Amino acid sequence: MKVSFKDFRNDVPPNWCPGCGDFAVLAAMQRAFANLGLRPEQVAVVSGIGCSGRISGYIHTYGFHGTHGRALALAQGLKIANRDLVVVAAGGDGDGYAIGLNHTIHAIRRNMDITYLVMDNQIYGLTKGQTSPRSAMGFQTKSTPKGSIEAPLSPLMMALAAGGTFVAQGFSSDVNQLVSIIEAGIKHRGFAFINVFSPCVTFNKVNTYDWFRERVVPVETIEGYDPHDRKLAMQKLMETDGMLTGIIYQDPDSVAYEDRIPGFRKEPLVRQPLKPSREDFEAL
């Protein structure tokens, strides 16, 4: 039976604000899973704390709404226990780049075969609008009323420097691009790191949809862009102030952490019949 994105819907209505960028990320995940022919029981979505962290409750797959900044610790544990499960971790920039940053860096360099989506709205939304590690210098919020005096984190350059084997960036306003990035990320044999510009329409009145639209630079628009060239990826990220979108870097020879463990059992530790098989999946 053909799988549809509707198979990944549940009956829990999201309580995100109307217009929140996270709606598009949820829809893109549902479409990507369906396009890959996955069934809900083959997928686990693990999230941290924040508005975006609710996403694991709004999708019809296995779901785990974990603790703040620990989505990747949980996701990696799940993957090592059941290597046939498609594991997707998700959270916000506060979750992944502040309290959870150390997990993010080590998960990137460890290169387990999981996909990580960061809904980057450059603010703390759930706690009603404080400066995040992604907020720009001078950004005014309740926590920095005279403007932030800290430099923002550059997540994609950080991921490349940490040895990332799949580094990509999407934008909630371009769902088709995001669907194809998520599909490619799931098919990638290793850790797929995907930052998504996902505007907070309620508390961030600076980094709006229009603000991003005016600044994003899709890699397809750069003549001769080679996503297998890490140095070029770093250079173009610097030239565009981190506004590149698309698959920015992918190592075609990536070997996942699980496949490097000598003698590690081939079968999942948790047994359950899953289709398609790993071979079917690779052939996609």
* 121 counts as binding Mg ion under rule CB under 5 A: yes
Q: Take residue 27 and report the two structure tokens written for it.
A: 């829809």
* Residue bearing tokens 């580094």: 167
Q: Which does 16 bind (CB under 5 to 8 A by kind): ligand SF4, Mg ion, none?
A: ligand SF4
Q: How far is the CB of 137 from Mg ion (least distance, A)?
A: 17
* 203 counts as binding ligand SF4 under rule CB under 6 A: yes
Q: How far is the CB of 202 from ligand SF4 (least distance, A)?
A: 4
**Which C-beta is closer to ligand SF4: that of 95 or that of 258?**
95
Cis, peptide link before residue 145, omega less than 30° from 0: no
Q: At what angle are helices 22-35 and 175-187 packed, to 10 degrees?
A: 50
Q: How far apart are CA 44 and CA 40, in angstroms?
A: 8
228-257 as b/e, with b when 16 or more CB fall inside 10 Å? eebebbbebbeeeebbbbbbbbbbeebebb
Size of the chain, expressed as the number of residues it contains: 284
Q: Which does 201 bind (CB under 5 to 8 A by kind): Mg ion, ligand SF4, none?
A: ligand SF4
| Closest by Cα among 136, 135, 67, 157 to 103 | 67
Binding mask 105-134 for ligand SF4 (x = CB under 6 A): ----------------x---xx--------
Sheet strands side by side (includes 86-92) = 62-65, 43-47, 86-92, 115-120, 192-197, 166-171, 244-250, 217-218
Angle at 83 between CA 6 and CA 114, to 5 degrees: 65
Q: How far is the CB of 124 from Mg ion (least distance, A)?
A: 6
Q: Please say whether the dihedral angle defined by the alpha carbons of residues 153, 245, 237 and 75, taken in this order, is positive or negative.
A: positive
Q: Please say whether the dihedral angle defined by the alpha carbons of residues 219, 222, 224 and 229, taken in this order, is positive or negative.
A: negative
Among 29, 51, 72, 237, binds ligand SF4 (CB under 6 A): 51
**Which C-beta is closer to Mg ion: that of 21 or that of 190?**
21
Q: How far is the CB of 146 from ligand SF4 (least distance, A)?
A: 23
Q: How far is the CB of 220 from ligand SF4 (least distance, A)?
A: 28
Q: Take residue 197 and report the two structure tokens written for it.
A: 């510009």
**Which C-beta is closer to Mg ion: that of 84 or that of 93?**
93
**Which C-beta is closer to ligand SF4: that of 14 or that of 37?**
14
Q: Please say whether the dihedral angle defined by the alpha carbons of residues 154, 156, 161 and 162, taken in this order, is positive or negative.
A: positive
* 69 counts as binding Mg ion under rule CB under 5 A: no
Among 69, 92, 155, 185, binds Mg ion (CB under 5 A): 92
Q: Within positions 12 to 31, which residues make up the interface with ligand SF4, using CB under 6 A?
A: 16-17, 20, 22
Among 201, 232, 234, 274, binds ligand SF4 (CB under 6 A): 201
Residues in contact with ligand SF4, counted by CB under 6 A, come to a total of 12
Q: How far is the CB of 134 from Mg ion (least distance, A)?
A: 7
Residues found near ligand SF4 in the complex (CB under 6 A):
16-17, 20, 22, 51, 121, 125-126, 200-203
